[in-house]
Amino acid sequence: MNDEKLARLRAHDSNISRYRRLLKTNLSDIERRFLERRLSEERSAVESLVSSRSHPTD
Domains of the chain, residue spans = 3-50
* Contact of 38 with 15, CB cutoff 8 Å: yes
Q: What is the pLDDT of residues 26-48, one digit of tens each?
A: 999 999 999 999 999 999 999 99
pTM, entire model:
0.83
**Under a CB-based contact definition with an 8 Å cutoff, are residues 13 and 39 in contact?**
no
Q: How far is Cα 28 from Cα 35, in angstroms, rounded to an integer?
A: 11
Residues 56, 58: Cα–Cα separation, whole Å: 6
Q: Is the pLDDT of residue 58 over 50?
A: no
Report the length, in residues, of the chain. 58
